[in-house]
Each structure stands twice: as C-alpha cells, then as structure tokens.
Amino acid sequence: MQLRVVSVRFVGGHNIAFRVQTLEAGPEPRQGPEVGIDAGVNVPRALSNEDHQEHGRPPRLPEGTADRDKWLTEKEKAKLLTLERQAAHQKSFRKKGEKTSRRLQHTYDQIKQLRAKATRRALDWQHQTTTYLACTYGTVVVEQLNILGMTKAPKPKPDPDNEGNYLRNGAKAKAGTNRSITQEAWGRTVMMLTYKLARCGGELVKVPAPYTSQRCSACGFITQAAERPKSCSRARTPSVGGPETPTGTRPGTSCTCIGSATSAWRSRPPEGAVVGRVNPSSLSPKGRRESPS
C-alpha cells in the first residue's frame, strides 16, 4: 500500500491536494537501451545516440540577445510588448503611495496570462520529452551540474587605478546566458526523469560533470572543445559533445577526440590512472595524454 498526494492546479492559481492510499505493485526492473544526455542551450537535450530532443525555439534573437519570450509566438510577443508599454504609461500617472488603478491591474493581469501561457508550454514540452525518454530507455545518464553556480552573477571588478569605480566584468553577457539556462530548467528535467524512470522500472545515473564533454568515450582522451577532429578509430558518430557511453566505468563522455585508442593504453594504463578516467597529472600542457611507456 502506497500513500500518494494528488494535486490539481488551476490556471487562476488555486491548488487542491488529495491524499489517497493505493494498492500498487512496484515496477519490474526493465532492461532497455542506455543513453547519455547532455543538457544545453542551443540543443536542449543532446542524446548520445543522436536522438536529440529539440523544441525548435532558438535561445537568442537575430541580434544576439537572449530571447526571454521564446515560448510565445510572434503575435503574442508583439501583444506582450504593447501591454508592457501600456503598463509603463499607466503607471507613470500613479502617485507615490496611491492604489493601483483597475485599468493598470487589468493590464498586469493580461501580462500575467501571457507569461503563464509560456510557462505551461515549456512545462508541457518537458513532460512529453521526459516521458518519451523514460518509456524508451532503461538507463539514462545525466551530468551532475551545479546549476546555481553556473547561473551565478560574476563578481564586481574594482578598478585599482580609480577608487570607487569598477571595470567591466561581463555581467551583461552573463545575464543573457543565465537567462537561457534558466529557461531550459535543467534541474526540473532531472527531477521528472527521476520519478518517471522509477515508475517505468528504469534507472537514472548521475555522473560528475568535469570533462564529460571533453573526454573521449573510447580511449579516455581529454581535449578542448575547439580541437575535435575525428581521428580516434573507436569513437562513434559525434553528437553535440554530450555523454556517449553511459556506464559506471566510463560515464557520460564525449565521442570525439584527437587521441588514438590503442590497445596498449587500454591494457596497460600509466601509473596512477583510474579506469574510465584520465589522470590530470598524465596530461601534457595542451591536454594531450602522454603515450604509455
């Protein structure tokens, strides 16, 4: 017997929760294909088998700025811009401490409805995507990302020559990147995969994020993203730099490298190396692994 909470959420913001007890047998472990997922901005969900999950909404506008309203249509974006300008105009007539007028509140409600529509579309796409992944694959590997740290604003840079002034720290550009990451809701995707895979008898594996997009899944070679020609004979078709081999010994790795997957390296790794990983001390300054002696 399991105790569950069923919640009903209405568009107006009201919620109703029911606590029920159900007799339900646990899911049988399901043996299915394995896949690694690389969460991104340009490609929201890049899968290691190239079964990428995209919503077709570019994260940036043609001029290069982040599109905070990408889940709205062009007509809805124009309406939202008109409402925001109208709200700013109406607010300019309100005196300090004066109650919000009915017209201004009505404009705010219309803006809120459009924002809520965009949120529902994003949530619906995430539910459809995670349900497909949970029903298709038996093991899903994701990166254990520090999303809060990735979306943190850069620290101010004081100007040593002018006390009280600050240098450019790239906060404006970082704000656009942070907004794009937040819109994709990577953490919510992992949360959905956790309970949906458990319900379907699958397994979710979280691997440490460092080097997962730079390490070759075949030979363990680490290289920078700018140097990715396919010269490793064991590497498969490259994805968008996401996890390739979702296993415990070589988890969540990239599929391109400029190293050589020789049998000597696989059978006799250098002293101090860990199976499935590359020891940083065995790397040359540019990231290339030294040949085993």
Q: Strands 45-47, 34-39: parallel, antiparallel or unpaired by DSSP? A: antiparallel
As a whole number of angstroms, the distance between CA 222 and CA 290 comes to: 11
pLDDT at 81: 94
Residue 244 pLDDT: 46
Question: φ and ψ at 158, to 5 degrees?
Answer: -65, 145
Residue for token pair 């988890």:
251
Domain ranges of the chain: 2-231
Q: Which amino acid is at 206?
A: K
pLDDT means per 10 residues, the chain with 293 residues, are: 73 77 74 84 83 82 78 92 95 88 94 93 92 90 86 88 86 84 88 90 86 67 54 43 41 43 37 40 40 39
Tell me how far apart the terminal alpha carbons of the chain are, to the nearest angstrom.
60
3-state secondary structure 15-45: EEEEEEEECCCCCCCCCCCEEEEEECCCCCE
Predicted pLDDT at 213? 66
Q: What is the pLDDT of residue 217?
A: 62
List of residues 6+ apart from 239 with CB closer than 8 A: 38, 46, 47, 48, 49, 50, 52, 255
Question: What is the CB-side half-sphere exposure of residue 146 using CA atoms within 13 A?
Answer: 6
User: Model's pTM, two decimal places?
Assistant: 0.67
Q: Which of 52, 51, 33, 39 is nearest to 202 (CA)?
A: 33
